[in-house]
Structure 1
Amino acid sequence: MRTYTLKYISELKTKRLELDGMWKKVFGEPGRSGKLWIFYGPEKNGKTWFSIMFADYLAKKEPVLYVSAEEGIEDSFLDVITRAKVDITNRKFKVKGKGVSITELDDYLNKRYSPKIVFIDNVTVYVDQLKNGGLQTLLNNHQDKLFIFIAHEERGEPYTATAKMIKRLADRIVKIQGLVATVNGRQGGEKFLIDESKAMILYGSEIKDQ
């Protein structure tokens, strides 16, 4: 077992995501290595749309992997890409579809030049593989990665016990409802309008007043 002095810890330089504009306002200056985030909300409220927008933004800076385990890479996923106005020519934005196991993902991420930012959409697909220590093993095996999990919601909380555990461990927690993403984690309170015109129809001036 290795121990560290407080001086050593204080001198560590935390690797951070290089965010700007609205993304920096929403997420601040988060650490990027060995971190865990969660985006969750009711079905059909913009979770994948918001996730794809953020992944596309990050992929302009460095390689990103998006695991579309629930929707796959068929029509519904292509519709989201269109709505999010993704740069489809960007080769740094990598996607894996249905049928990828956590073991296969683990092997892929062990490759030397694998992406260091990984979106996993959706927790429900992997609930059996992530429980009983599966999540912790994945995180421990890839301490240089940022994992962003997308989860459904039930009674105001992420759906499944695994998703609730991810929320407890998460550095950034984003609840998505009515095309509005609200950061509830360590940043706290900032809102991102995924589709401003539709969100304003749903909520009116309440969004900007909050």
Structure 2
Amino acid sequence: MARPKAVYAKNLYELKDKIKRFAFSGVFEIVMGQPTTTGMWIIYGNEKNGKTWFALKIADYLSQLANVLYVSAEEGIDGEFIEACERAKIPFNNRSLKFYEYTEIEVLDEMLSKKRAPKIVFIDNVTIYADELKNGVLRQFTQKHADKLFVFLAHEERKEPHGATAKLIKKLSKVIVRVQGLACFVSGRCPGGVLTIDEEKAQLFHGVETTSN
């Protein structure tokens, strides 16, 4: 096994200006700042609380900055999912956001290894991929594609992501969003805050600040 390479402070400071960040604006900038373009995020909550709606909303926003792949593994691309896209007002002419039904991790790996693969991947949700991502596969998969951002959706159990894999993802995530009662509590390595969902207007409004998890 190869030994890790040491990095001195001088090297760290030289790397700072080379780190790529999303040029967020509006409510997303208020609660998420200018997040790095790689790593992991997690969005979790109970069913029927607006989790998918929020994920679609930010997927559409991120698609203005890079190509996005959204894997609707649990719902598939059925009537309810299409209605969720309509409520989130995904533009019909958005060609930077592509949707897939459940796709095996091995197939996703092949897709993301291509030269022009999307830079942002939404996995909806972790429960469907729990078996495929256990035994170290999650780390192997995300490290292999370290130049990408993975946004995982997860169910909630006792105010935490459901399942061991989802809990690990939360620990590794730079941005954590817990959705409850149409409110999105944002924390992690970002400013943090609350975004309130207004599905009728398909908008997000900034609320009060919250502490990091």
Whether 1:122 aligns to 2:125 is yes
Whether 1:28 aligns to 2:30 is no
| 1:123-173 CA-partner distances (Å, limit 9, x unpaired) | 000000111011001111101001010000011110011100111111111
Match of 1:66 among 42, 63, 70: 70
Residue aligning to 1:187: 190
Residue aligning to 1:138: 141
The answer as to whether partners of 2:42 and 2:154 remain within 8 angstroms in 1 is yes
Residue aligning to 1:113: 116
Letter in 1 for 2:92: I
Paired positions, count: 200
Residue aligning to 2:204: none
CA RMSD after TM alignment: 1.8
Matched residue SS, 2:66: coil
Matched residues in 2 for 1:209 and 1:62: separation?
A: 28
Residue aligning to 1:43: 47
Q: TM-score, normalised by structure 1?
A: 0.90
- Structure 2: runs of 5 or more not aligned: 202-206
Identity %: 49
Matched residues in 1 for 2:182 and 2:145: separation?
A: 32
Whether 1:95 aligns to 2:109 is no
| 1:97-139 CA-partner distances (Å, limit 9, x unpaired) | 12x1111111100000111111100000000011101100111
Residue aligning to 1:81: 85
Greater fraction helix: 1
Residue aligning to 1:204: none
- Structure 1: runs of 5 or more not aligned: 199-206
Greater fraction strand: 2
Matched residues in 2 for 1:209 and 1:77: separation?
A: 31
Matched residue SS, 1:70: coil
Residue aligning to 2:163: 160
Residue aligning to 1:202: none
Whether 1:57 aligns to 2:61 is yes
Regions of 4+ moved over 2 Å: 1-6, 186-189, 207-210
